[in-house]
Amino acid sequence: MAGLTKSDIGGFLARQGILVAFALFIIGFTLANARFLAPDNVMGVVRSSAILGVIALGVTFVVISGNLDLSVGSMMSFSTIVVLDLHDKIGPALAIPAMFAMTLCLGAFIGFLVGYLRLNSLIVTLGMLSAIHGLTLTYSGGKNMDIADKEGTWFGVFGQGELLGIPVPILLFVLLASLFGLVLSKTPYGRKVYAVGGNGTAATFSGIRRARIVFACYIISSFCVATAGLIQASRSLGSQNTVGQGLELEVLAAVILGGASLLGGSGTIFKTVIGVLILGFIQNGLLLVGLQFYVQFVVTWVIIILAVWLDVAAKRGKLWSTIA
């Protein structure tokens, strides 16, 4: 067997470097604090990562299609505030579908702008981030929301309940991950998403309706955001009107960590789940070793830069360019 060359090592690190780094983090955190891999801590990390994970599932579709969605944080704030407000006005049985309908309308609007009008997804979703934030503040009157009768409602089951000893947020995350994983890998629609992200022009000439595919990706993303908003509202039965602020960067980091390319055409739901867990365990490990929560922001930024670097390196087959 021939020996490994620098090119082989560089290519491996470009493709799997983040997993190697994650393994080193796990070893380091375990040595620093024996509780890190305790079953209750692991379950707690997965449960706390469920909201981020559910949103990341939808954003995976958007990124694979060659677009971005930076509005998901503000959109989750909106969906959380809306369902809490409507809970006391019309009851949870009507509040939940009403919130989903309103959130899907926002996703449809973004999908129309990006898919049918062919506007730049970065500009559109960055603008919608501010617009939806303003809509949320207007809707709530600048106030936070709380359910009046927290003891007499079944609404808490989505964020606090358990089934067979497993927290409901984890079950929802796993269920949606399994469903969307099948959609991406086993259905004609999933293959069209990859085709549009890989080469939109070629996909159009081959008969794929690019606008319709992109539009549907944003609908899926907004559905996942609404689900995450439901979990968030149900967890505490109350919320600040900025609860999702900044979440879009963490979601994007998780998706890219999972191997989805910012250039589109690559990525899987399974790897997105891995990316979500990587972020969750790293943030938990930092807290267990005694670092303050705000250090997580710095680490997340470093992880995003590292992930983008590895993504570009995987495309060119080496970790750095020889061109100055």
Write out the residue range of the structural domain in which residue 244 sits.
39-316
Say how many domains are in the chain: 1
Residue 162: how many CA atoms within 13 Å on its side-chain side?
Answer: 7
Q: For the whole model, what pTM was predicted? A: 0.88
Q: Which of the pair, 10 or 231, is modelled with greater confidence?
A: 231
Determine the 3-state secondary structure of 314 from DSSP: helix
In a domain, 28, yes or no: no
pLDDT digits (tens, 9 = 90+) for 100-149: 999 999 999 999 999 999 999 999 999 999 999 999 999 999 888 889 88
pLDDT digits (tens, 9 = 90+) for 254-268: 898 887 888 888 888
In a domain, 195, yes or no: yes
Displacement of CA 277 from its chain's centroid (Å) = 11
In a domain, 169, yes or no: yes
**Cβ atoms 51, 222 nearer than 8 A:** no
**CA 67 to each of CA 79, 214, 224, 264, 314: distance values in angstroms, whole numbers, following the listed order:** 22, 8, 17, 7, 19
Residue 136 sits in a domain whose CATH number is 1.10.3470
In a domain, 22, yes or no: no
Q: What integer best gives the mean pLDDT of the chain?
A: 87
> Does residue 9 carry a pLDDT above 60?
no
